[in-house]
Structures are given as structure tokens and as C-alpha cells.
A and B are shown apart, each in its own frame.
Chain A
Amino acid sequence: ELKVEQNPLFLSMQEGKNYTIYCNYSTTSDRLYWYRQDPGKSLESLFVLLSNGAVKQEGRLMASLDTKARLSTLHITAAVHDLSATYFCAVDRVEYRSQGAQKLVFGQGTRLTINP
């Protein structure tokens, strides 16, 4: 059974600081997705990581994937208040890929609060 664990689950940080959110998963997969969710809202796609060593960057966020370690990281650089949200990683289940469907398993989410 595929399990996805994020840490930390809660993170409070100051504006201008750097921090990293970790996403570990338990079985083989080479596809990992990061999403953002604002309170009471839907999920917004951030990054799609499709191979070992993949690195994607958008603004102050950078995501990477190490399939051998079964680990993805989401790094926040010089945090600003607008980045306050809950961040989810999700992993595709290799053993259930069929007909192109993505059967994602989500982590619990990391609730990030950035204080002025």
C-alpha cells in the first residue's frame, strides 16, 4: 500500500526566511505533484515532477524529486505572507496505472503560516 507522509504538518515562519517541506512516499513511483490550497478553497497545481532529479521553480518556490530516496522537497525562499496556505504532495500509484488515469495518493498536507 502506498503511503505518503509530509513533514512538518504545521509550519509557522517569519517573512524573509527560508524553509523546506518534505514529502516521503513508501513505494516506487516516478511521478509526484505539488498542490496549494487556501482556506476554504480548492486545490491549485504548483508543480509536476516526472523523473528522478527533476527540479521545478516558480517564484519563491522550488520543488525537487529523488525517486531513489522516495523523497520530494518543496523549498521556500525569502517567504512572503502571500505564500501562507496548505501545501499537498501527491504521488501516482504505479501499480494501478491503467488507461492513462492518475490514481493519486495525497499526503496530509503542510499548513504554512508566514508572519510579517
Chain B
Amino acid sequence: NAGVTQTPKFRILKIGQSMTLQCAQDMNHNYMYWYRQDPGMGLKLIYYSVGAGITDKGEVPNGYNVSRSTTEDFPLRLELAAPSQTSVYFCATSRDSIQETQYFGPGTRLLVL
């Protein structure tokens, strides 16, 4: 099993460009999450999903959009990239039980210049 995969690993964007960060999981988990981690800081929740077709905002959703058409995929869309979105983005999943830990993908490093 691959677990949680993310693509790309690294990307440089120009200000105003758009891109989609991909996240896929083969763990059959209903819950999926997007976080950003700024240098020297903890993670902040951007969006989350409790199942296909259901998404909701986290702590820092501005400038991002998500969709969840399948259980396996949870892409994160950046519209009109800004330097403040330079960060490392992590996707995570968890099982239905709230007692379970979250399983994190390897991350996407994004630089906006």
C-alpha cells in the first residue's frame, strides 16, 4: 500500500499563477485534511473533508479551494498565488473513529515568487 501520496514534491509559482496540489490515499479513509506548515512553525488546518462530496473550512482557508469527488482523492487548489502562500503543504487522512491518529503524506514544498 502506498498510503498517502502527494504530487508534486516541489513547485515554484509566480505571483498570480494558479495550481492544484494533488493528494491521494489507498487506505480507504473517509477523513482527509490539508495543512500548511510555515518555517519553524506547527501545522495549520486549511480544509478538511468527511467523505466524498463533503468539505469544510479549517483555520486558514483564504486563498484555497478543495473538492472531494472520490474517497481516494482530495486536491487543493491555489488561485492567484501570493508570496504568503509559500509553505510546505501536507495532506493527511484518518479513519472514521475519532480516536485514531492522522496519517500524513510526504508534503509539497511550494515557493511563490
Contacts and interface: CB of A to CB of B under 8 A. Distances in A.
Interface residues of B, number: 30
A108 B103 contact: no
A31 B98 contact: yes
B41 A42 contact: no
Given A31-B98, A45-B101, A101 B44 contact: no
A106 B31 contact: no
A18 to B, nearest CB: 25
B97 A100 contact: yes
Given A42-B104, A43-B90, A45-B101, A88 B42 contact: yes
B33 to A, nearest CB: 8
A109 B41 contact: yes
Interface in A72-116: 88, 90, 92, 97, 99-109
B98 A97 contact: yes
A94 to B, nearest CB: 11
B34 interface: no
Interface in B76-113: 90, 92, 94, 96-107
A101 B48 contact: yes
A13 interface: no
A44 B104 CA distance: 7
A71 interface: no
Contacts of B98: 31, 92, 97, 100-102
Q: Which 3 A-B pairs have the closest CB atoms?
A: A106-B42, A45-B101, A99-B50
Interface of B: 30-31, 33, 40-45, 48, 50, 54, 56, 58-59, 90, 92, 94, 96-107
